[in-house]
Chain A
Amino acid sequence: MDINSARLLAAGLAIGLGAIGPGVGIGLLVNGALQSIGRNPEAQGSIQINMFIGIAFAESVAIYALVVALILLFVISGK
């Protein structure tokens, strides 16, 4: 395997594996938020804001993976 294909493979793996955890996490977050809204519809505003903040935290992990993938793809040049 030459370095270029290793780089491409690594990029795919990085974002693919890195997105699993945040995917599950965001699912759990939205699940909880929707249940709370269902139980207590008056608190919808604050629940939504907190949900978005939580989603941002969970998502940032995926974003780190994405950054790694992007660096692998565009920054490290496979010579």
Chain B
Amino acid sequence: MSKTWLYALGAIVALVLIVAIRIYFPFAVAPIKVAAEPLPGLVIPIPGFPIPITNSLLTTWLTMLILILLALWVRSGLQSVPNRKQNAAEMLVEGFSGLAEGIAGPKWAPTFFPIAMTIFLFVLLSNWLDLLTPILAAVGIQEQGEIIPILRSPSTDLNFTVGLALISVVLTQYYGMRAHGWIRYWGRFIKIGWVGNLIAVLTGKRKGNPGAVIAMGLIDTFMGLIELISEIAKILSFSFRLFGNIFAGEVVLLVIPFLLSFLVPLIFMGLETFVGLIQAFIFAVLTLAFMSLAVASHGAEHEAH
């Protein structure tokens, strides 16, 4: 019997097994909830700062553990002539490092690369854990007639996504300030340089129409404020983009099996794999792009004026 037929037979057997399991063990599925559920009775008792261990927090730790174990595994066999696993790891790291260099330039790339790479790996793995949702949603603790899943993809917890977005935006500001000095950097948002101009015009040191100076200055200030708001809005768009995509994917993966149990969910799983990859990539690349904008383009803009 050829290999193809063997695979086909395996697939058919798996399908029959799924059908049988669905018929004989109709399992309950946890209700869809936006907020991550704390696991009952599990709290890290820091006085004044109790941390309830939610299912997504547990999964975050699991994700970290997997990533660190993978890193250790790759590191254990590091040699000058690479084997297969080292090749894969090197391709990933080198590809991302090249991307960082392309976006941020050779000066800042070594600084930004580890941040973006960590974001990418962390988000990617937690996105892909989301593919297990149909199983994870059924494995849980029964509490007051409701199932609380033990594991839940971190990307479907706003704490995780907002935390990452905060890190990304705060680090962007930090590097912007480090590159330009904090007075010059914040001058990008709070534009009141026109006041000095106005005083010069009013005292007659410079010619000009005071009304026009005030009008242009107010527009300038307003633009600066808009930039400040867009900076803050980045946190929202970063976190809700990731959360929305992955949470919607989870909802789809949970709902589709109720409509059509066989094969169709597989298509959506493929879609979700792609979405998870793209979202992780976008999170990392946008972080890189914003950081390099903060350190570079602002200065160039000033020189151009």
Contact = CB atoms under 8 A, between A and B. Distances in A.
Q: Do A and B come from one complex?
A: yes
Contact of B282 (A56, A67, A70): A56
Contacts of B247: 70
A56 B34 contact: no
A66 B244 contact: yes
B261 interface: no
Interface residues of A, number: 16
Interface magnitude class on chain B: 20 to 34
Interface in A33-76: 46, 49, 52-53, 56-57, 59-60, 63-64, 66-67, 70-71, 74-75
Contact of A75 (B34, B240, B245, B251): B34
Which residue, B34, B244, B251, has most C-beta atoms of chain A within 10 A? B244
Contacts of B251: 70
B237 interface: yes
B34 A60 contact: no
Contact of A53 (B34, B102, B282): B282
B226 to A, nearest CB: 16
B241 A70 contact: no
B33 A60 contact: no
Given A70-B34, A71-B34, A74-B34, A53 B285 contact: yes
Contacts of A70: 34, 244, 247-248, 251
Contacts of B240: 60, 63-64, 67
Contact of A52 (B241, B243, B285): B285
A53 B286 CA distance: 7
Contacts of B35: 75
B285 A67 contact: no
Interface in B205-260: 237, 240-241, 243-245, 247-248, 251
A40 B204 CA distance: 56
Nearest to A46: B102
Nearest to A49: B285
A5 B142 CA distance: 30
A60 B285 contact: no
B32 interface: yes
B241 A56 contact: yes
Given A60-B240, A67-B240, A70-B247, A52 B33 contact: no
13 contacts: A53-B282, A53-B285, A56-B241, A59-B241, A59-B245, A64-B237, A64-B240, A66-B248, A67-B240, A67-B243, A70-B247, A74-B32, A75-B34
Closest 6 CB pairs of A and B: A63-B244, A56-B282, A60-B241, A60-B237, A66-B244, A74-B34
Given A52-B282, A53-B286, A60-B240, 18 more contacts: A46-B102, A52-B278, A52-B281, A52-B285, A56-B286, A60-B241, A63-B244, A64-B237, A64-B240, A64-B244, A66-B248, A67-B240, A67-B244, A70-B247, A71-B34, A74-B32, A74-B34, A75-B34
